[in-house]
Each structure stands twice: as C-alpha cells, then as structure tokens.
Amino acid sequence: MKSVIELISERIGLAIDKATDQKASAAIVTPATDAKFGDYQSNGAFAVAKQLKTNPRQLAEKVVAALQIDDICLPPEIAGAGFINLRLKPQFVTDRLVGISSDENLGIEKAERPQRVVVDFSGPNIAKQMHVGHLRSTILGDAICRMLELAGHTVIRQNHIGDWGTQFGMLIAYLRELYAEKLEQPDVVSISDLEQFYKNAKAWCDKDPNFAEDARKEVVKLHNNNKDTLRVWGEFVKASRKHYQPIYDTLGINLNESNERGESFYRDKLADVVNDLKKAGLAKESDGAICVFPEGFKTKEGEPLPFIIQKSDGAFLYATTDLAALRYRVNELKADRIIYVTDARQKLHFEMLFAVAKTAGWTDDKIKLDHITFGSVLGEDGKPLKTRSGENVKLKELLDEAVKRAKAVVEEKNPELSGDEKEKIANAVGIGAVKYADYSNNRTSDYIFSFDKMLAMEGNTAPYMQYAYARIKSIDRKAKERGIDTEKELKNIKRLSLAESAELALAKHLIRYSEAFNSATADFKPNFLTSYLYELAQKFSTFYNACPVLDASDEIRPSRLLLCKITSQIIRHGLKNLLGIKTIERM
C-alpha cells in the first residue's frame, strides 16, 4: 500500500507536469503544520514557478485545474503566494483504515527492490565491560536492522567486536607476572577482574618499558597463533561474551554469537590487504609505516593525510581490519549496502576507509556505504556521563538502576500486584524508558540522561506510551465484564462512522503510520517514529475523552472499537517490532 503522502505527491507531480509541459516535477508535499489549513500542503508549484520565473499563484491555479485528486481529497485550496492545501475526504480515510486493519504490517510497504544489507553495530571491546558509550550503537543499530527487515530487506548483523588488539598482550603479560595460576584456569576469571587487570597492566606499561616490551611480545605471540596464548585469549573472549550477551538479551537486541565477526576473524586477511594495496600502487612507506593517501584528505598543514595500514614494527591496525572486513562483506556476504553505526568521532576514519576501498576498486557505486553517527550521552551537568570518580558508567549498572527505579514506581502505583507481575512491569518500563529516551532524541545530537525524565508518566516517554497501550487493552477487559463481544462486533462491522472531529482526527493519524515509518527509515532517525507514536497516544486520549466507546450506541460502537484496536496495534507494532520495547497488557 502506497502511503497517502506518496499518492498525493504522484498526483500533484503529474499535474505540475501537465501545467508546465515538464517531466517528473517534484511535488514537495508535507503534512500541514496546522489542521486549519488541511492535512497536507504542496510547495511544488511555488518551487517550479521560481525556476520558470512565472507567477507562483497563477501557476498554482493551473496546477489545481490540472489536478485529478477528487478520489482522495476535497477540492484543493490555494493559499498565500502559491501553496496548495489539501484535505482528505472522510470516505478515503475510512477506506484506508479498513485496508490497514487487515494488513499485518499496518500499511507499511515493502521495498520494491529488496537488498542485502550488512549492519555493523555494537562492537564492544573484549575484556572490558560495556559502558554507556556502547548504548547508542547497540540500540540504534538494532532499530536500523528491524526497520530494514520490515521493509523486506535481508539484513546481515555483524558485531565487529574488538578482540585482537594490544590489550591482550598487556593482560597476558600481567597475569604471567603476578597471577600465573590464572593462566592455567583462565575460564574462571570474571569480566570485572579482567577489566581491573587490564587497567593495572596499562598503568604498568606506561611506567615500565621492560614490561611494555613483554606485553608487546605477548601480542606478537598471539598474532603468530601461539597455541597457548590463543587458548588463554579464547577464554577471555568467552568471559566477555558471558558479560555482554545478557545485556543484549535484557535490551531486547537481536545479537548473538552467530553475528560475531570480531577483529580476530580477519587476522589472516590483513597481510593481503597491505600487499594488494601495495601492488595497486596505492600503499607507500612513509616514516617507516605503510600508508594510503586517499585523494582529498589533508592534514591541518595541508599535507596529504595518511590512512595507516601497517606500523613500522609490522603490526596491523584498526584501519587494516576494517579494509579486510569491507572486502569480506562485499565479496563473501554479497552486500548491496553496508551500514556502520558508531559515534561521530569515527567520522574521518570511515570517510577515509570508504575512499580507499573505492580507489582500490574493492567496492563501486552500486554498493552503498553509510556511516550512521550519533551524539554523546551526557550527565545532568551537560558533560559526558561519568561516575563520580570520573569513570565511564557501566551499561549493566545503568540498566539495573533503571529497573530498580521503575520498580519503586510500580510498588507505589500498584501495590496490589503479585511480586512476579511487578517484576515484569518494572523490567519492561525500566529498560523501555532507557531505550525510548535514546530513540526519541535526534540521533545526531547529544542528550542528557535523566532517570526522572525518562521514567515520567507524562510526556514523550516509554511509560506514557506503555500506559496508553495498557489503557486501550483495558477497554477489552471491561467489555468482557459487561458481556460485550468485541471480536464479534469488529467482525460484523458494517459502517465506519467518523462523524466526530476527534474520531476523524485519530483516523487520519492512524493512516499515516507508514509515512512515519518511511521518514524514520529514510535517514534512520527513530525519533520520527517516537514523535508519531506520542502524537497518536495524544490523539487517542482526545478521542477517548470525547467519544464514549463501550457506552456508544450499537450503531457506532463497532466503529469506535476498530479505532481502539488499530491504535493499540500500531503502538504495539511501533514499540515492539520496530524499537524492541515491551508493551504491557495491564499497568
């Protein structure tokens, strides 16, 4: 099903073509900013008039005369200097609504040409706990995957974990020195111990060159596939996995071991990357290191900027691994598109990566490469969120705290619920609140992390949305108590009545779900979706206050029940299917 805005755009585009003897004119249709002016507005005539240097208002009149849209809209109106205002016909709204109600995707359209899309997200570093800095990549990446899957694409999730770096050399050298027994039983070392050992090891490296040299030798052993070193390393990876898998599960993130393609996966492909770039004449030695100088990248001083792929001691780098990963994704995974989700600080890295891969001919214009960035999570003081002692906030602790606070709210509001039920609600609300707060902020901006705000029952928050959902579900329960068979009424529905303005306004918003989906997907901005859902909950509230549902006459009740049903379906679909946030039947 095409979205309403697409349908209208097509018609207006054709009318502009007719009126101007042009082809494929842009209709520029947007939702109206104020319901006073209608439901949609087109600036198309205005824009074309500027191009053709004619009077926009006269052109708009010609466009309206050529416009065939009376199956969708009431007679269009021209406003201001040449805008065309459009108002949907109630009959059209009714027909759409019926269409949506029988569509499992609630009007969301599948892509015409499904693609194979690799999404690289989360990518925690082994032997360290996940911290708040991993929150956005993890949940944004997951939402991107869900959106693409819903649009019918084949999504290949790749967790590019940092499991091959110098940290292992330090860790192993440290243990060899102080806790040799742990190397015999590396499987019992916990993630928090590992993290502490790593910190100590790093501090030691910084002040003792001899130890630093030991650590370097351990990395070399690892990179040369020394059996014993690999065994210890493997256990550390396992310990890390034991830490982050439960976090993914708690957050409702579809990632597991099968999606893992860590840095180590590419270890035997790195030498080829360097050799192939050398053979192609693209990689050169510079100050002992092997570098590529992609065109157009300059240092502050105006010198060519190097993309370093091998250090003078022979070690490969983050960049080398990413080049190998890109080749693998194109050649083996057959990606049509690769999406990387990391914070904005890696912007330059990915720009250079894409430039080098293109120049080397490892990818071409048919393959779309995207770096989807995001801003930082800030504390209430407006600075990057840290603990009091200045450390990164551990993701697990943050999530535990959210659930704990949600539980206190549930205790207070619903003391009569069973312990199990309270637990379930607290989980859904606490985790949902953290995720929703993140999604509802424009991903490119920083945002302030506030438990109080995200757990508030009022405003654009998860608890508000979850409550709105539970409230609609309670109508079903009340109906049952009163002996009203809602299923049957919905099945035998004869006529939809949208006579009340609140009914019509709600219905018009319901049929725009696919529009919200399309705008959220266009640039992967889930905040378009949360805004839509929030507005939906508000429109529902207005409707519910103005229009009795169960107390309505037998004539009208089925129609109102249908509005309730589609509203709850869309809220659930948006929260659960697109954002991976749990809904609750009773709250």
170 in Cβ contact with 221 (< 8 Å): no
Residue 159 C-beta: closest distance to ligand ARG, Å = 9
Structure tokens at 542: 């207005």
Strand partners, 119: 157, 339
Say if CB 307 and CB 293 are below 8 A apart.
yes
Q: Which residues contact ligand ARG by CB under 6 A?
A: 120, 123, 125, 160, 162, 322, 325, 340, 342
Minimum distance between the CB of residue 125 and ligand ARG, rounded to whole angstroms? Answer: 5
The answer to whether 356 and 292 are in contact (CB under 8 A) is: yes
Residues 260, 122: Cα–Cα separation, whole Å: 10
Write down the residue that tokens 């840095």 correspond to. Answer: 263
Residue 163 or 218 with smaller CB distance to ligand ARG: 163
Triad 245, 248, 254: Cα angle to 5°: 110
The token duo for 13 is 């585009």
Alpha-carbon dihedral angle through residues 58, 62, 63, 65, given to the nearest 10 degrees:
140
* Other C-beta atoms lying within 10 Å of the C-beta of residue 189: 21
Min CB(516)–ligand ARG separation in Å? 29
Identify which of residues 210 and 258 has a Cβ nearer to ligand ARG in the complex.
258
State how beta strands 283-286 and 289-292 pair. antiparallel
**And the tokens for 445?**
């901006």
Radius of gyration of the chain (CA): 28
Nearer to ligand ARG, 325 or 395 (CB): 325
Grouping H, G, I as helix, E, B as strand and the rest as coil, residue 216 is helix
Pick 9 or 125: Cβ nearer ligand ARG: 125
In the complex, minimum distance from the CB of residue 370 to ligand ARG, in angstroms, rounded to a whole number = 12
Minimum gap (Å) between residue 465 Cβ and ligand ARG = 31
The token duo for 132 is 């708040």
Q: Which is nearer to ligand ARG, 305 or 317 (CB)?
A: 317
Give me the residue whose beta carbon is nearest to ligand ARG: 123
Residue number, 160 or 560, with CB nearest to ligand ARG:
160
Beta bridge partners of 260: 159
Shortest Cβ 342–ligand ARG spacing (Å): 5
Tokens standing for 41? Answer: 């507005």
- Comparing CB distances to ligand ARG, the nearer of 109 and 195 is 195
Name the token pair of 72: 């969708």
- Indicate the residue among 38 and 123 with the shorter CB distance to ligand ARG: 123
Task: Write the DSSP symbol of residue 159.
Answer: B
Strand-strand pairing, 337-341 and 116-120: parallel
Q: How far is the CB of 442 from ligand ARG (least distance, A)?
A: 21
Query: Would you say 248 and 157 are in contact if contact means Cβ atoms under 8 Å apart?
Result: no
Name, in order, each residue with C-beta under 8 angstroms of 503's C-beta and a sequence gap of 6 or more: 497, 543, 547, 559, 560, 563
Cβ nearer to ligand ARG, comparing 354 with 464: 354
Residue 47: CB minimum distance to ligand ARG, A? 40
3-class SS letters over 318-372 = HHHHHHHHHHHHHHCCCCCEEEEECCHHHHHHHHHHHHHHHHCCCCCCCCEEEEE
Looking at the Cβ atoms of 101 and 125, the one nearer to ligand ARG is 125
The answer to whether 435 touches 581, Cβ cutoff 8 Å, is yes
Rounded to a whole number of angstroms, the minimum distance from the CB of residue 363 to ligand ARG is 14
Q: Which is nearer to ligand ARG, 324 or 406 (CB)?
A: 324
3 state SS of 426: helix
The CB-of-202 to ligand ARG minimum distance in angstroms stands at 16
Q: How far is the CB of 379 from ligand ARG (least distance, A)?
A: 21
Tell me the closest approach of the beta carbon of residue 120 to ligand ARG, in angstroms. 5
- 58 vs 346, which CB is nearer to ligand ARG? 346
